[in-house]
Copies of this chain bind each other. A is one copy, B any other.
């Protein structure tokens, strides 16, 4: 299980990535998909997820469709064209962040040997 502290700031990007890939999803679905894709190492909390989804809706990045399945309400979220552009941008940013972080993480031979 990954310390959720690290997840801070990337939740929105993850949600956008999943929506861009899966067309439309509902909240509960998103948490399960993340769990599945990360082999159970990331478990989203609803207290974090729903505010993000609502905010994306207010921003005009997603539209919602409420459907009934076995007497349970599902609220599907789907990217708008604007949301899709935003998703592309955020995913690119996250990928760049990952690259930069790997620069920081790799053993730094300069400072470790030559620089001292």
A interface residues (Cβ-Cβ under 8 A, vs B): 2-3, 5-10, 13-14, 17, 21-23, 33-34, 37-39, 41-42, 91, 93-98, 100-105, 107-108, 111-112, 116
**Interface SS of chain A:** helix
Are B95 and A37 closer than 8 Å at their CB atoms?
A: no
How many whole Å from A62's CB to the nearest CB in chain B? 18
How many whole Å from A21's CB to the nearest CB in chain B? 5
Are A6 and B94 closer than 8 Å at their CB atoms?
A: yes
Q: How far is the CA of A112 from the CA of B112 in the complex (A)?
A: 44
Picked from B7, B21, B112, the residue with its CB within 8 Å of the CB of A9 is B7
Contacts of A14 in B (CB 8 A): 104
How many whole Å from A88's CB to the nearest CB in chain B? 13
